Amino acid sequence: MKAKASSGSTHKTFRGKKRTASRKRIGLVFLTVLIAIVGGVLAISRNSSQAHSDQGQQKRYIATKEVVVDQTTGQRRKPTDEEIEALVAQVSALTNRSSDGLTATHRPDGSQMVDLEDRFNNVALARANEDGSTSVRCVTSMEEAAEFLGLQEVTTQDQ
């Protein structure tokens, strides 16, 4: 009888640790992605702000899903406005498919080289799921990123 009680107790403890480890892993994945995004924002803010002024419109997104794991509580939540702005700036710049301003350099061997200036990239994103798992997707545009992360575009005219 005692063996069953301790066996059940051990099982519950193991499950609790498994859930905690899973939450820590999700938090770590999100934190890594967020650090990469925020780190790149400073480098691309110049390109991004010029692109917005050239378009005459500024794209803004709002969160519709809880895809972020809060580092202090371990609970899923919607991304903050600041997190969304950083993500949009980073993904938009990295997935920019415009060749405007890019120039080819002719090399002595007859080949040509073009510096893509951090454009034409694919971006790996991660999101926390309801069941505690993490989904990862490689996106090639801000539209794909918004769909994957549950962001809804709100367009406003510059004034």
Beta pairing, strands 123-128 & 112-114: unpaired
Task: Mark 90-107 as b/e (b = at least 16 C-beta within 10 Å).
Answer: bbbbbbbeeeeeeeeeee
End-to-end CA distance of the chain: 75
Q: What is the pLDDT along the chain (159 residues), one digit of tens a residue?
A: 444 444 444 444 444 555 566 666 666 666 566 555 545 543 444 444 444 444 445 589 999 999 999 999 999 999 999 999 999 999 999 999 999 999 999 999 999 999 999 999 999 999 999 998 999 999 999 999 999 999 999 976 544
| Side-chain half-sphere exposure of 62, counting CA atoms within 13 A | 4
CB 94 within 8 A of CB 118: yes
Contact residues for 72 (Cβ-Cβ < 8 A; gap 6+):
none
Q: What is the pLDDT of residue 19?
A: 54
Burial (CB < 10 A; 0-12, 13-18, 19+), residue 82, is: exposed
* Phi then psi dihedrals of residue 75, to 5 deg: -95, 150
In the chain, the amino acid numbered 140 is T
CA distance 159 to 157: 6
